[in-house]
Amino acid sequence: MNRTRAAAAAATLATATLALSACSASSGGLPDLPAPTFDEVTVHDPSVVTAGDDVWVFGSHAASAHTTDLMSWTQNSMSVGDADAAGLFDDIRAELAETFAWAQSDTLWAADVVELPDGRYAMYYNACEGSSARSALGLAIADSVEGPYVNQQILLRSGMWDEESENAGEVYDATVHPNTVDPDAFYDEDGDLWMVYGSYSGGIFILEMDEETGLPVEGQGYGEHLVGGNHSRIEAPSIRYDEETGYYYLFLSFGGLDASGGYEVRVARSESPDGPYVDAEGNAMADVAGAPGTVFDDASIEPYGVKLVGGFEWADGPGMGGDQGYVSPGHNSWYDDPETGESFLVFHSRFASTGEIHEVRVHQMYMNAEGWPVLAPARYAGEGLAAVSADDAAGTYQVVLFDKVISPFVPTSVAATLEADGTVSGGLEGTWELGDDAAVTVTTAAATFSGVVAPVWNPTAAAWTWGLTVVSEGGVPLWGRQDGAGA
């Protein structure tokens, strides 16, 4: 099933699933869940599309992988060099020769695949020179998600210095025009196809698309500007419609993608696919950009957007690998399960002490009382929302309080206790209150946070524990996981 066409139905089911689990499950402790098994894959900039029971991700360098449970993945391809052997193309170098030549590159950037109404699969491929915004974005189509994809044409170009851009009559200017990479095609509530794209440079743009052909509707040039400019480090847009809240959610990655870049995921929302988008404080995202005359001015963009995840460390982690925390997590897509109504964020992350090695990670995504998404504080391990009592939620947690500073220096968890009397003590001080349907509010001297308490797998304890995920009115998340089962 098309991930985007399933979104509306899945969003409706999500509320029913939450209420059902809260009413029918016992509130006497954690649900009885098996220990998870994970099989890892490496796909940078994973973009989700479904085919039958398979959930696929496509990403940079022609990498791809698939899964049926979001935990055990199978690598399909890893590079342009093995794309033909994997069946993605018959001859990728020949098919995309014009793209490679324009972009002055021998590899591809963040591909996106979407199912068209007639059942064919459209791949929006792209390539970039890398040190500049010299890029090309094109379309290839296949009858099957596995390929082979057949090139149709280049759709957009950027980096045509001192020449007319895709906007008729305008000379290309990388501070205001987009870098034509990082596409994400999606369907709106009426079934109309759109494509959002862009990275750094002039920011993020959106185009109306023809769902029959997969091509942009004529006469739009680069499309409509949504956010960014003056080379601010904002990229990797992805848009999800939520029928329950009625909002379109624009996910973005702020910062730099490498291990020292401070990469992180933020979100804004709008009542229309083409904006205007705002954050939790009502800031207009169209106005968010680097200061004029600057390059990569993170200070200009740090205050904006609702943060979902950034780099962090678990103080009780084993010292290596993903359980210690994340380094530069970002460039996400999303998946809504059409049967359960559960929603997930799918992204890549690097890890402490492992350099630039990256793997795919999936976290369950919940909606808080104010209609903002929050992420489970641990990777998806087969859990779902469950009934939780105040006695369950009370206990000692490792707590991560994020901030909005874009930096390679990340917060480390501290021990804090949700006391039975409704106070919070230790490394975090304040009060907490459990509401209906696993909703929770945490109040500190600095802010009020809203979210949920839900089961998570704690690999340090090798046990299922309760997880806490909340976000403040200013868009700063707070995560926690109990130290041990029922602790």
More confident residue, 15 or 363: 363
The pTM of the full predicted model, rounded to 2 decimals, is 0.94
Percent of the chain clearing pLDDT 90 (strictly above): 90
Is it the case that residue 159 has pLDDT exceeding 70?
A: yes
Task: Say how far apart CA 253 and CA 90 lie, in whole Å.
Answer: 33
Mean predicted confidence (pLDDT) in 187-193: 98
Closest CA to 174 of 288, 286, 295, 263: 295
| CA atoms of 166 and 104, how far apart (whole Å) | 19
Give me 223's structure tokens: 């499309």
Q: What is the pLDDT of residues 336-392, one digit of tens each?
A: 999 999 999 999 999 988 899 999 999 999 999 999 999 999 999 999 999 999 999
In the predicted model, is pLDDT for residue 8 greater than 90?
A: no
pLDDT at 356: 96
Q: Report how far Cα 138 is from the mean position of its chain's Cα atoms.
A: 22
Which pLDDT tens digit goes with each residue over 226-249? 999 999 999 999 999 999 999 999
CATH number of 7-375: 2.115.10.20
Catalytic residue numbers read 45, 235
pLDDT of 290: 98
Q: Where in the chain is the domain with CATH 2.40.128.10?
A: 390-482
What's domain 390-482's architecture?
Answer: Beta Barrel (2.40)
Closest among 120, 130, 152, 144 to 64, alpha carbons compared: 144
**CATH 2.115.10.20 residue ranges in the chain?**
7-375
Residues paired with 415 in a beta bridge: 398
Whole-angstrom distance between the N-terminal and C-terminal Cα of the chain?
Answer: 40
Dist. CA 234–CA 252, nearest whole Å: 7
